Amino acid sequence: MRGRFTFLAGCVLVGLILVVAAVSLVWLPYDPADTSGGRLAPPGGAHLLGTDKLGRDLLTQLMVGARIALTVGIGSVLVGGLLGVAGGLIAGFATRWLDDALSAVLDILIAFPTLLLAMLVVAAREASLGSAILAIGLAMSGVVARLTRILVKRVLAQDYITAARTSGTSWPRVVAEHVLPNIWPTLLVNLSLQLGLAVLAEASLSYLGLGPPPPNASWGRLLQEAQATVLTSPTGAIAPGVLLVVLVVGVNLVADGFRDLADPTRRRTR
């Protein structure tokens, strides 16, 4: 019961951000580059949440920021998930020396700071939405690959895998019919958690100027721009921070609720 409530609460929080992002695709109160609202105007009828220091409508900026946060988060999870699962499967089936070599590479990738990796990616390309997705996805892939490797080796040690191979089942079929179905619930929970971390990473990169450049209104960049006026116009700093917390907490609740629902043992112990 608790797992179902947690999952539902997380879906509601994430759903609110999804709705805001979806609406921003078809409607915005103002053009994101419109600076005619007046500098640091207070919340009112024309601008429900006021304006920023450049005169842009804050509600418009937040709606665009929701779209960017979800785009980077989901894109990073897809990149990290595909690379990580592929690498983990290879390591799980590899010979001992190749497994040791891949494990060493994964240890280095996991220990490598995400921000430093982002700086390298931005230096090789440029500060853009694609660079943020690639950098965060690469950093995430090491964690996913390590988990996939552990899960694959655990499944391959089971008796039914030996029986399947004895009966003549090919390795690709073993992966499709036995390995992936047994590891996907745990992987899905982990990828859900990684989505929350990816959103935070994107906000951090944008705060440091390594995320999508203007006119992309990332929540992290909005926080960076509002820090100088937080005392005179606190809405500019509070609003993106609240939305960031709502999205990350919602994603974590979804992951926690799904873990409870997918694991019968956890359901029985609560």
Confidence of residue 198 (pLDDT cuts 50, 70, 90): very high
CATH of the domain at 115: 1.10.3720.10
Confidence of residue 268 (pLDDT cuts 50, 70, 90): very low
DSSP string, 151-209: HHHHHHTSHHHHHHHHTT--HHHHIIIIIHHHHHHHHHHHHHHHHHHHHHHHHHHHHTT
For the chain, what is the mean pLDDT?
Answer: 87
Any domain includes 53: no
pTM of whole model > 0.75? yes
> What pLDDT, on the 0 to 100 scale, is given for residue 187?
92
Reduced to 3 states (helix: H, G, I; strand: E, B; else coil), residue 259 is helix
Any domain includes 200: yes
Any domain includes 38: no
How many structural domains is the chain composed of? 1
Which residue would you say has higher pLDDT here, 123 or 174? 174
Residue 70 is which amino acid? L
Q: Which domain holds residue 205?
A: 2-24+58-268
Percent of the chain residues past pLDDT 70, beyond the cut: 96
Tell whether the model's pLDDT for residue 261 goes beyond 80: no
Q: For 112-150, write each residue's pLDDT tens digit.
A: 887 788 778 877 888 788 888 998 999 899 999 999 999
Any domain includes 118: yes
Any domain includes 212: yes
Any domain includes 51: no
Tell whether the model's pLDDT for residue 270 goes beyond 60: no
Any domain includes 76: yes
**Are the C-beta atoms of residues 178 and 161 closer than 8 Å to each other?**
yes
Any domain includes 30: no
